[in-house]
Amino acid sequence: MLAALTPEELTVLGLSLKVSLWATLASLPLGLLAAYALARWRFPGHGLLNGLVHLPLILPPVVTGYLLLLAFGRQGWIGAPLWDWFGVTFAFRWTGAALAAAVMAFPLMVRAIRLAIEAVDPKLEQAAATLGAARPVVFLTVTLPLILPGIIAGAVLAFAKAMGEFGATITFVANIPGQTQTLPTAIYSFLQVPGGEAAAWRLVLISVAVALLALALSEWLSRRVAARIAGR
Amino acid sequence: MTLEIRLSHQFPGFRLEVELTAPPGLTCLFGSSGSGKTTVINAVAGLLKPDRADILLDGQPIHQLPPHKRGIGYVFQDARLFPHLTVLGNLTYAARIRRRAPKDLDRTVALLGIGALLDRRPGALSGGERQRVAIGRALLSEPRLILMDEPLAALDEARKAEILPHIETLRDVLGLPILYVSHALPEVARLATTIAVLDAGRLVAQGPAARLLSDPETASLLGLADAGAILSARIAAQEADGLTRVETGAGPLWLPRLTGAPGDPVRLRIAAQDVMLATDRPVGLSALNILSARILSLRPADATGMLVQLDLAGQPLLARVTQRSAQALGLTPGREVFAIVKSVAMARDGESAPEARG
């Protein structure tokens, strides 16, 4: 099936998958922490954190992309020290596309995981404590296995969002073939040139195929996990 | 081992102030809901931080420790088995997180009769099975103290009967203090070696179960309808007519056949309302079980009734009579009388408390 694709299409598909996968995996630990904090801890700034996490969902993606550019550009207040001290930059690189996708997908991931954590009965965690488990052990042996379906759901949702991310990506890292051009931005490019519809259509079909595949995989995964922890 | 508890906590509306000692054996914390029982047990477990607490286990303070370092085995009302683990996984949880082999796994499994369940998931267990696994899981954490928060409250009578003998075995075999919260008097009467009665955040009575259950003063605290005495006795003989003769020290009792050999100890519970009094040994009466006793005291129980505390060759017995009969018979402390026992409840290892009417 992959043989039917042109080298350019393979590049776009490969980059999209790489960007989305990294966006999902790299933000997962932080997403888990944010979800746990929002679900279980009461602290000053709880509402602020909640708002911050949800901000990319509410802001126009172009605004998010522009803010990322201001913060993580070569002259940005985070980007400049990163470049000066570590020689790391996000601007106009695939890593920047991954960062934009991660930020945009973050609220969806946190929401799914938070719901799963809130569904865990704290009484089970208390029971684990009385059996001799310290807090981190309780989390690893009781909470984490029980929220695994929620984590999978959140990751799949984030991956899908990352695959489709357009506005923040194109604003932050532009649309450079082979560097930052993902499926959506490539489709957009083809639609801008006369006679590009056929090429755009091929990418549309690829997008649909990837989405269906990801959905099937997540269904299969969560069914397996759910059966394992359903207690039957 | 002995557990000593001193704690106070201010709730909106009422204050909890408790000073309690639980010796080895089963100490029952008895009281209506809202009396503070669960607060006490959760404070001992460390799941709740009271304003002030001194909790000593064998003289060692444990109140400053986090729950996982207190060495307690907690059996919750709702079992709280881990749904993602098998029964075996639940039983060995405490050992696994300590990276040790579970101690006494086979013995505990046999003791609770859960060998056939090991590969199952909690979701596939009945309520009684779940509670037995929860008890096993608590025991296998090698606790120095066992806490039980109404472990039978969510179960029907048949399931209760299934669990009760196991709890009795623990009480008699382990040598650990068991703090048992309940508001069900039959359970308390059957299981408790010590009783502490909690009312609106205060301990209103505390002492050996046999004494508290037969003292008219505390009987009213425990709920008058259920006032009664616990009698220690021994099986004397299995009679040819299907009855079992039980020797109480104040005379024999005949009960429907009990399993057991002559000499086996039994705990009998005799409710005050099932005891009639006669000033002369009754003749021409169908009742088999007549014991001679001496009146210790008489106290008014309600508008028309009296509770009579009797001495039965050193053991206490309670009778409930009307004030009218007490007057007509001239019942006074010190007087010798005959107690006609209409009904005896059994409380004994491996036996599911049948009501024996004689």
Residue A23: predicted pLDDT: 95
Helix, strand, or coil (residue B233): strand
% of chain A with per-residue pLDDT over 70:
97
Which architecture characterizes domain B3-214 according to CATH?
A: 3-Layer(aba) Sandwich (3.40)
pLDDT in tens, B239-277: 888 888 888 888 888 888 777 788 888 878 788 888 889
Residue A230 confidence (pLDDT) above 70 = no
Q: Which of residues 145-164 of A touch B (CB under 8 A)?
A: 145-146
Residue B351 confidence (pLDDT) above 60 = no
pLDDT in tens, B297-344: 887 777 788 888 888 887 888 888 888 888 888 888 889 999 998 877
Query: What backbone phi and psi angles, to 5 degrees, belong to A50?
Result: -60, -45
Instruction: Tell me if A130 sits within 8 A of B68, measured CB to CB.
Output: yes
Comparing alpha-carbon positions, the chain A residue that sits nearest to B81 is A124
Domain ranges of chain B: 3-214, 228-357
Residue B356: predicted pLDDT: 44
Model pTM?
A: 0.76
Residue A187 confidence (pLDDT) above 50 = yes
ipTM of the complex: 0.81
Residue B220: predicted pLDDT: 67
Residue B248: predicted pLDDT: 84
Residue A112 confidence (pLDDT) above 90 = yes
Residue B30 confidence (pLDDT) above 70 = yes
- Tell me which residue range forms the domain holding A123: 2-229
More confidently predicted of B298 and A29: A29
- Residue given tokens 């969806």 in the structure block: A108
Residue B37 confidence (pLDDT) above 80 = yes
Local confidence band at B228 (pLDDT 50, 70, 90 cut-offs): confident
Instruction: Tell me if B135 sits within 8 A of B147, measured CB to CB.
Output: no
Mean model confidence pLDDT for chain B? 85
Which chain A positions have a beta carbon within 8 Å of B72's beta carbon? Answer: 130
Residue A71: predicted pLDDT: 92
Residue B350: predicted pLDDT: 34
Q: What angle do CA B3, B5, B8 make, to 5 degrees?
A: 170
Element of type H or E holding A1: none
d(CA B182, nearest CA chain A) in Å: 19
More confidently predicted of B12 and B348: B12
Local confidence band at A172 (pLDDT 50, 70, 90 cut-offs): very high
Helix, strand, or coil (residue B5): strand
% of chain B with per-residue pLDDT over 90:
28
Local confidence band at B155 (pLDDT 50, 70, 90 cut-offs): confident
Residue B261's alpha-carbon distances to B111, B130, B220, B245, in angstroms, are 22, 33, 36, 11
CB within 8 Å: A228 and B98: no
Query: What backbone phi and psi angles, to 5 degrees, belong to B205?
Result: -160, 150
Local confidence band at B154 (pLDDT 50, 70, 90 cut-offs): confident
Residue B217 confidence (pLDDT) above 80 = no
Which chain B positions have a beta carbon within 8 Å of A232's beta carbon? Answer: 121, 123-124
CB within 8 Å: B68 and A123: no
List B88's β-bridge partners, or say none. Answer: none
Residue B225 confidence (pLDDT) above 70 = no
Residues whose CB falls within 8 Å of the CB of residue A88, separated by 6 or more in sequence, listed in order: A82
Local confidence band at B355 (pLDDT 50, 70, 90 cut-offs): very low
Residue B162: predicted pLDDT: 79
d(CA B102, nearest CA chain A) in Å: 13
Q: Which of B275, B270, B183, B171 is closest to B230 using CA atoms?
A: B270
Q: What angle do CA B63, B66, B70 make, to 5 degrees?
A: 65
Mean model confidence pLDDT for chain A? 90
d(CA A186, CA A5): 14
Give the nearest partner residue to A137 out of B46, B47, B97, using CB atoms. B97
Local confidence band at B347 (pLDDT 50, 70, 90 cut-offs): low
Which chain A positions have a beta carbon within 8 Å of B44's beta carbon? Answer: none
CATH, range B228-357? 2.40.50.100
d(CA B105, CA B351): 25
% of chain B with per-residue pLDDT over 70:
93
Local confidence band at B93 (pLDDT 50, 70, 90 cut-offs): very high
Local confidence band at A114 (pLDDT 50, 70, 90 cut-offs): very high
Find the mean pLDDT for residues A134-150. Answer: 93
Token digits of residue A74: 């070569």
Q: Which of A157-171, B183-197, B237-251 has the highest mean pLDDT?
A: A157-171
Residue B163: predicted pLDDT: 83
Residue B348: predicted pLDDT: 43
| Total domains present in chain A | 1
Residue B209: predicted pLDDT: 81
Residue B224: predicted pLDDT: 47
Least-confidence region, from A33-37, B43-47, B251-255: B251-255
CB within 8 Å: A130 and B66: no
Q: Does A227 touch chain B (CB under 8 A)?
A: no
Q: What angle do CA B227, B255, B358 make, to 5 degrees?
A: 70
Residue B88 confidence (pLDDT) above 80 = yes
Token digits of residue B47: 């799941």
Comparing alpha-carbon positions, the chain A residue that sits nearest to B97 is A133
Residue A1: predicted pLDDT: 60
pLDDT in tens, B94-152: 999 998 888 889 988 988 889 999 999 998 898 889 999 999 999 999 899 999 999 88
CATH code for the domain in which residue A225 is found: 1.10.3720.10
Residue B22's alpha-carbon distances to A132, B3, B195, in angstroms, are 22, 5, 9
Residue B337 CA, distance from chain mean position = 30
Local confidence band at B226 (pLDDT 50, 70, 90 cut-offs): low
Residue A231 confidence (pLDDT) above 80 = no
Find the mean pLDDT for residues A165-192. Answer: 92
How would you classify the pairing of strands B202-208 and B194-199? antiparallel
CB within 8 Å: A130 and B122: no
Q: Does A136 touch chain B (CB under 8 A)?
A: no
How would you classify the pairing of strands B52-57 and B3-11? antiparallel
Instruction: Tell me if A183 sits within 8 A of A13, measured CB to CB.
Output: yes
Find the mean pLDDT for residues B56-79. Answer: 91
